[in-house]
A and B are shown apart, each in its own frame.
Chain A
């Protein structure tokens, strides 16, 4: 018996008699996490979660409530709370928030592989993440953080229009972060993997990347303060996309909080930049057949040759702002309706990395942003000032690693100043941002 559907139907009937319309999101997950330190299994975590979140709509207002108890009694209580919340926000606005209607969604293969993997094999993968680091380089002193994760997640959306969408996926991830030491220098960086099938899990390769990245940074020198041309490593592009993503939300534009407000159709970025939001691209980790309102996913061109083509919309804001609907509703059962990107894909250019580092007298290859955005990004202005790690090139020759610097600028200037886009992706570590290297004309660096 489908208890979720049965309970939803009962509550939906009650909502109809209350003059309300209803959406229910149920998300579930299973996570197994294993982590070794010095060959001792230090972490064994097994978590199961299930959350049901109601969105109750009364004309132009909507209220939310969630519960981790999926019994009918608890769901009914949550519904009443969501209804009261909608009443709290009730306005006289003559607007009807739309709900999604049933529609066929894309299907994917290979995202939910049912595999029976023995605990011994999972432990072996977790152990290999740690021990492979030691095996790769004698300068590895310690591997304080490493872990293997097996995950399954599901999301189901039902609404008063008769919609009932369900998506389940499974995955394996792992990471290792060794501490390496040479003379008085200590450095730590990481490597990770993401795989849909256990046969694609390769802890040794992730450990090798982690050690290589850490060791490469040993002996880092200081950087002279100044303005430099920069190659943003494809691994570091995701930080810049995080700065941008909230600003693409139609709601942020509507509420005058986005730095992209009023720029639709304008050349915001360099003509080298084409950026696409693609929830159907299985190379990325944010694949979804439907958005969080249950609408079938679609590919959306955000920037085409630098011109801002679309904001990300859900049903409500497409209607409010008379914009194309991009099926970009993004929320969890504990949060309110918003819009956000899925996989962000920067289209390939034609410039090799070797040509990028030769393009100016001095070029900084920014390999890592080491600080969180909350500690150096101003979302009202797009200004950032963040610490990083990099390699300095002079006349195309590698000079060595540099650190203890802060790089500063504005995200819109970064988009405008893209001089070249790299000619290859790297899928060693899957991510929701798919990008080649980017050459930026100039950023400010504060160093010695």
Chain B
């Protein structure tokens, strides 16, 4: 608990004093740590505290949001009154008693970031550096970092919700730079969890470092990817960024309610082939994008978005639900108290299908096997997306052949869904950071291998 419930009640009453329809308060006390190793030496050590609150009011569809760093009774009431008075005078309302949300955490944590021995953390990072350099003499630089966050949140609203939760996120990132005959390349990879850093304990650091360096070295031998439309097989794991960008953002009520999504009004309609089922699930134990409760105090859920090609649900928060009439899905998320929450994804993936990877490759006469994806972005209004491919191979007459580099995939979300013609049975998830209106948040993506019958590959024109 960060603040006593009586204080929150007073602040909510102040927030409702000019007739708001709804009010909530989000309080945060979080500890962040960044450690890094560069040039085989410890490089950075930064720790810090975020401490503040956001008061949010609804007047119909109008959202008022005010933040403060003063979590005393006087500070919270003042912020609440500032929010309330921004809208002028209406009839005051008062909140009823709180009904505290009681729940058993879905996740397990070990030592908190400030408790765990730093030597252990630096040992992991030095080990990645050592194994990377030892694996190839072409390595010119290695940078390894460990980011940890431990966030305490308390949420109360005018519907009587009162909730407290603790969250932890830990992420280890390694990047290797190589140079071969004047050609430079790099490769980076990360492993993360919604949990404390001891959850990274079992990683095979040697194998991981070697795999990453091998990828960078292979890129130095690769020619540029071809340009043009072609079938693309996208690998499992982070390949799921295609669904995240192509569809996920357009299914958030933040975009739907504004009429800024190509998926607007398509609930119950067929938007993909029968092989496509997609899920957004915040309940997976210690998974990167998981939660117990969302940032509006609602229990997280497993939400089926698309089932056998038919749109079943949007991703909805409190305001999104009020605007669209669709049920809340426990998806109100934000980076910190500095942002009002918005409907956001958690762990979003395409569910396992019945095809095999080998069958997909066999089906391609000439195309691209996108083994590893980089970041992506989308315009939800048009559905236009793009994402980077960091490891790719040409597929010729059903066989995976030479490696290519510099590829990017672009398309329109709703078109791409209709072009997913095969889904394998080998589902994997991977972690990423998702940036949108309510800041940058941990969100996992995932999928089995999929075959997209035609996609625009941005490579080099021959």
Contact = CB atoms under 8 A, between A and B. Distances in A.
Interface string A401-441: 00111111000000000000000000000000000000000
A393 interface: no
Interface string A37-73: 1001111111111100100000000011111110000
B461 A255 contact: no
B243 to A, nearest CB: 15
B458 to A, nearest CB: 2
Contact of A448 (B47, B186, B229): B229
Interface residues of B, number: 72
A387 B458 contact: yes
Contact of B65 (A46, A177, A447, A448): A46
Given A45-B340, A378-B186, A385-B407, 7 more contacts: A68-B49, A186-B381, A188-B381, A227-B461, A375-B375, A376-B374, A408-B227
B377 interface: yes
Given A67-B49, A142-B260, A255-B38, A386 B458 contact: yes
A385 B61 contact: no
Interface of B: 35, 38-39, 41-52, 60-69, 82-83, 86-87, 118, 122, 140-141, 143, 177, 184-186, 224-225, 227-229, 255, 258-260, 262, 338, 340, 374-377, 379, 381-382, 384, 386-388, 405-408, 410, 456-461
Interface residues of A, number: 74
Contact of B185 (A46, A381, A386): A381
A188 B377 contact: no
Contacts, number: 226
Given A406-B386, A444-B461, A47 B410 contact: no
Contacts of A177: 381
B285 to A, nearest CB: 29
Nearest to B376: A375
B43 A89 contact: yes
Contacts of A63: 45-46
Contacts of A334: 46, 48
Contact of B63 (A42, A48, A188): A42
Contact of B45 (A78, A88, A259): A88
Contacts of A142: 258-260
A141 B261 CA distance: 13
Contact of A336 (B46, B140, B407, B458): B46
B388 A375 contact: yes
Contacts of A226: 461
B338 A387 contact: no
A339 B25 CA distance: 38
A445 B60 CA distance: 48
Contacts of A164: none
A58 to B, nearest CB: 12
27 contacts: A37-B61, A40-B60, A44-B63, A44-B87, A45-B64, A47-B66, A47-B338, A53-B48, A66-B47, A69-B49, A78-B49, A142-B259, A144-B258, A144-B259, A186-B382, A370-B386, A371-B377, A376-B387, A378-B185, A378-B406, A385-B406, A406-B459, A444-B460, A446-B228, A446-B459, A446-B461, A448-B228
